[in-house]
Structure 1
Amino acid sequence: MSTDAEFADAQPVPPIPPQPPRRPAAAAAPGPAEDPQTAVLRRVPPEPPMPPSAPAAPAATGPHPVPPRPAAPPRAQPPAAGAPLPPRPDRAPGSPAPTGPAAPGPSQPTAFRDTTAFRDTAAFHLARSQDLWSGPGARTAGRPSPVPWPRTPLPRQGVAHGTGAPAAPFRRPGARVLAAAACLILGIGLIGGAAAGSWLTEDTSGAAPTAEAVFAKGRDVWHDTPVDTLFPRTVKGLGAGPGGADRAWTRIAVAPDAGCTGAYDSKLAAALAPAGCVRLLRATYADATRSAVITVGAQTTKAGPAAMMALNTRFSSKNLSTRTDLMPLPYAAKGTVAEDFGRAQRASWTVRVLTDIPAVVYAVSGFADGRTFTEPQPAEAAVRPGTTTAPAESGLGHDAKDLADRIEADFRKAAGSPTPTRQASS
């Protein structure tokens, strides 16, 4: 297709109207130099023509030819450092001096305005004056030179950073430190192994221990269990008094653990002799009103299960636990409300020969004011409903029975065979 055919649809360009003749300057109008309030835009000389020696650009063969790029004018060299700047000319070289204000003429359309002759803009002057502000070496390849970052010097070897003092040299741990660490690891391993072994040997099925194990452990209860566990400081009996009333007892004395010599009357000592005696523990309690005192005791025997079963059968069949000549002795601690609690003040008692653990548990009660009883009554008989005896109505039978129940339960629990009880301790 021809070139004329390509531009057949283009809009015709209107002709440029001629400029009107310039009006003569008025005689009375002041010139630009005389009027400081008037701003005159100076004309910038056009770009110089290309030198004849430059080869001509080849003609464009495409539909839209690109005009050749004019060569850049030589850059003005900045003045030397310290030299005064040359005065700025009032007008461009080669232009005539103005004789008056230019007559306003009709403005040309933007599409036909000569953009190469008018360059009096802030961007143009800023680009021209860059060398005056930054110097001739401020730009390298069209970009500002990068500012180097300051380098932080590394501390010298053996000097602590920031202090200047020599750092402590690295030392390997000595033989003592290594030996201590090895002992610590070995100890932790032994403890962990022992704990794991005990855990593995325990019966994880949750079954109750055997009767032989309970009986064997019951022989060591007296020295393996704290006294506050076997004889609590405070015992509360829920519904343990006459008519179902609640009772409370407080421990006022604990006898030193000793043998059985002199702890019983002769007849009771003879009745318990077949079982033998390892240790006897005793304690004395007072009720809430401190008018009744009760001594409880637990004797650990040397007999085996068969001998304890035979002794229990003998006490049951011959009613040895209800005979008044086989009553246990009280523990009358000096300086307490039980100081006057002796043989004549015994009102009620109970003696129990246990068969699941090697122990004999007993209790004996009386009044704290020292009054005597001519007809003491066993606790099992005094707690029966309808009994009107003095031990029954005063609650001394209930005190002896319920405290004996509590101490018996504590010994069995310590041996690994707990039993339910109505008493609560604190």
Structure 2
Amino acid sequence: MSFGEPEGYDENARPRPLGRRGRSRAVAAAVCLVLGTGLIGGAVTGSWLVGDSGGSGARNGFAAAGDLWHNVPVDQLFPPTVRGEGAGPGDADRTWTRIAVAPDGGCEGAFAPLLRKVLAPVGCARLLRATYTDATQSHVTTVGLLFTEADAAAMASLARRFDTERLDRRTDLMPLPYAAKDTAAAAFGARQRASWAISVLTDAPVVVYAVSGWADGRTVDTPQPAEEAMESGATTAPAQAGLGHEAQGLADRVERGVRRHAGTATERPS
């Protein structure tokens, strides 16, 4: 904000005596300045109260999250060891060890055709995947982070569709695992998938998913979504083995990491 040259100086900025009229104008200008400052301050305070500042922060966080795949080391997105306190059946603790990280790249061949079609509206900027095993090396779980090309509105639309149509429970929309040679997940293919979880974030352009199975390569005739496999009294083989907890527990913790890093990025000085 700029103001006119104060009275009491001529056009060459040389002091000159102020008359009574000049003093009156100076007083009036000071009063206007005080009132104007108060009004501006009130407007700014009002914008804080209605959440305008928070909205800007949320937009910045959304954009920052989209860059995490190349701004954050893989060991922070997919830690070598993930601890899940209370993440197992009966609130038992879980520990997962990373055994493989897929080369980052696009989504070509990474999803079954129908799931690829469902995800198509948000696009694919980058796909990161890692596979973990539990402490007993009995189970294997692939966790994926799909960084999309979508804006917040498109992510919200996809999230609503998953919620209303229950797409996260359809077996024909199960994510594919990442089977790495010479690891406990070497035999972890499409027929070995036992349970899975998919989460479409609305505060970040990211889809988080996880799919679990047995490490011995056994096939599964009836996979079960993690939400159902974790229900009390579930008697299916994936539920009894705790594979729903494996998928959901890892997906939750990787998702928390994404949110945490996105929040940290918005707090860095520009």
TM over 0.5: yes
Counterpart pick for 2:131 among 284, 304, 315:
284
The 2-side partners of 1:413 and 1:246 are apart by 22
Q: Which amino acid aligns with 2:114?
A: K
1:299 equivalenced with 2:162 (yes/no): no
CA distance in 2, matches of 1:281, 1:337: 19
Residue 321 (structure 1) aligned with residue 173 (structure 2): no
2:91 to 233, 241, 244: 244
Give the number of equivalent residue pairs. 212
Larger radius of gyration between Structure 1 and Structure 2: 1
Query: Could you tell me how far 1:271 is from its partner in structure 2?
Result: 0.2
CA distance in 1, matches of 2:264, 2:223: 33
Counterpart position of 2:252: 405
Cα deviation code 1:73-112 (max 9, x no counterpart): xxxxxxxxxxxxxxxxxxxxxxxxxxxxxxxxxxxxxxxx
- Deviation for aligned residue 1:328: 0.4
Q: Which residue of 2 aligns with 1:352?
A: 199
Task: Determine the structure 1 residue equivalent to 2:184.
Answer: 337
Distance in 1, Cα, partners of 2:101 & 2:87: 23
Secondary structure at the counterpart of residue 149 of structure 2: coil
- CA displacement at 1:417 relative to structure 2: 6.7
Cα deviation digits, residues 36-72 of structure 1 (max 9, x gap): xxxxxxxxxxxxxxxxxxxxxxxxxxxxxxxxxxxxx
| Structure 1 residue 231: Cα displacement | 0.3
Partner AA of 1:301 in structure 2? T
Q: Where is the helix percentage greater, Structure 1 or Structure 2?
A: 2
Cα shift readout 1:125-147 (whole Å, capped 9, x = no counterpart): xxxxxxxxxxxxxxxxxxxxxxx
When residues 302 and 216 of structure 1 are mapped into structure 2, their CA distance, relative to the original with a 3 A threshold, is same
Alpha-carbon separation, structure 2, partners of 1:355 and 1:372: 34
Amino acid at match of 1:351: I
Mapped to 2, the partners of 1:232 and 1:317 lie a distance apart of: 33
Q: Distance in 1 between matches of 2:184 and 2:68?
A: 29
C-alpha separation in 2, matches of 1:239 and 1:411: 20
1:141-185 Cα distance to aligned partner (Å, 9 max, x none) = xxxxxxxxxxxxxxxxxxxxxxxxxxxxxxxxxxxxxxxxxxxxx
Q: CA deviation at 1:237?
A: 1.0
Question: Which shows bigger deviation, 283-292 or 408-417?
Answer: 408-417
Tell me, what secondary structure is at the counterpart of 2:103? strand
The 4+ residue runs of structure 1 with deviation greater than 3 A are none
CA RMSD of aligned residues (A): 1.4
- Judge which range, 385-394 or 286-295, deviates more: 385-394
Letter in 2 for 1:368: A
Amino acid at match of 2:77: L
TM-score (norm 1): 0.49
Superimposed CA distance per residue, residues 212-264 of structure 1 (whole angstroms, 9 cap, x where no aligned partner): 01001011000000111100000111111111111111000000100011100
The match for 2:59 is: 212
Q: Are residue 390 (structure 1) and residue 237 (structure 2) matched? A: yes
Tell me the equivalent position of 2:68.
221
Instruction: Considering Cα pairs closer than 8 Å and 6+ residues apart, tell me whether 1 or 2 has the greater RCO.
Output: 2
Tell me the CA shift for residue 384 of structure 1. 1.4
User: How far off is 1:385 after superposition?
Assistant: 1.5
Q: Secondary structure at the match of 2:101?
A: strand
Equivalences for 1:5-404 in 2 at 5 Å? 210-404=57-251
Q: Does residue 255 of structure 2 align to residue 414 of structure 1?
A: no
Per the normalisation by structure 2, the TM-score is 0.77
**Distance in 2 (alpha carbons) for counterparts of 1:395 and 1:311:** 29
| Partners of 1:290 and 1:215 in 2: CA distance | 36
Partners of 1:312 and 1:403 in 2: how far apart?
20
**What is the Cα deviation at residue 392 of structure 1?**
1.2
How high is the sequence identity, in percent, across the aligned residues?
A: 61
Distance in 1 (CA, whole Å) between partners of 2:83 and 2:67 is 27
SS at match of 2:172: helix
User: How far apart are 1:267 and its partner, in Å?
Assistant: 0.1
